[in-house]
């Protein structure tokens, strides 16, 4: 058999497989009709590979399937964001809640012991160990010691 593009002798193996053209680049470019593997880049993810003929890839690309998706987490830079109107207006409160006085969750004795041991250079864990040995009635825990040391004086 002869190549239908250039007229050179066609390999017997290619003829058995049903090819009518040889393996030269010019003949391959003119006659090859097959599937194309296309890598589509995806934001923060691995590429998506699409195996299809060129016409399908072109059609899907023109339809916008491979275009940039809106990944703005609900933020649209083209239009101003307008909050939706409430369905029912909120009912006015009949009376305001009284303000609760804020007080620390520890006693002045606990704070005094913690600050004393802290000024001695002890860590919160060491403060708890020392307080359990010397003043167990205060019931200091490591969490409470950290809260006391983190609070303003």
pLDDT digits (tens, 9 = 90+) for 62-107: 887 777 665 555 555 555 566 666 677 667 777 777 777 677 788 9
Can you tell me the distance from the alpha carbon of 47 to that of 60, in angstroms, rounded to the nearest whole number?
Answer: 17
Q: What is the pLDDT of residue 78?
A: 56
Can you tell me the distance from the alpha carbon of 55 to that of 75, in angstroms, rounded to the nearest whole number?
Answer: 35
Can you tell me the distance from the alpha carbon of 141 to that of 144, in angstroms, rounded to the nearest whole number?
Answer: 5
User: Does the pLDDT at position 146 exceed 90?
Assistant: yes
Q: What is the pLDDT of residue 121?
A: 92
- For residues 2-23, average pLDDT: 89
Domain boundaries defined on the chain: 1-32, 33-65, 108-150
User: Does the pLDDT at position 42 exceed 60?
Assistant: yes
User: Does the pLDDT at position 11 exceed 60?
Assistant: yes
Query: Is the pTM above the cut of 0.85?
Result: no
* Residue 48: φ, ψ to 5°: -100, 130
Q: What is the pLDDT of residue 141?
A: 92
């Amino acid at each position: 058999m002869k190549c239908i593009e250039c007229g050179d002798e066609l390999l017997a193996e290619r003829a058995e497989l049903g090819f009518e053209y040889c393996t030269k680049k010019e003949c391959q470019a003119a006659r090859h009709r097959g599937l194309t593997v296309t890598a589509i880049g995806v934001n923060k993810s691995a590429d998506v590979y699409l195996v299809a003929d060129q016409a399908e890839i072109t059609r899907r690309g023109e339809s916008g399937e491979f275009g940039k998706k809106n990944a703005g987490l609900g933020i649209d830079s083209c239009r101003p964001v307008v909050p939706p109107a409430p369905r029912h207006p909120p009912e006015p409160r009949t009376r305001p809640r009284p303000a609760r006085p804020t007080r620390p969750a520890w006693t002045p004795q606990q704070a005094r012991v913690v600050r004393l041991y802290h000024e001695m250079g002890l860590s919160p864990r060491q403060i708890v160990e020392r307080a359990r040995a010397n003043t167990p009635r205060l019931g200091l825990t490591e969490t409470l010691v950290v809260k006391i040391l983190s609070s303003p004086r």
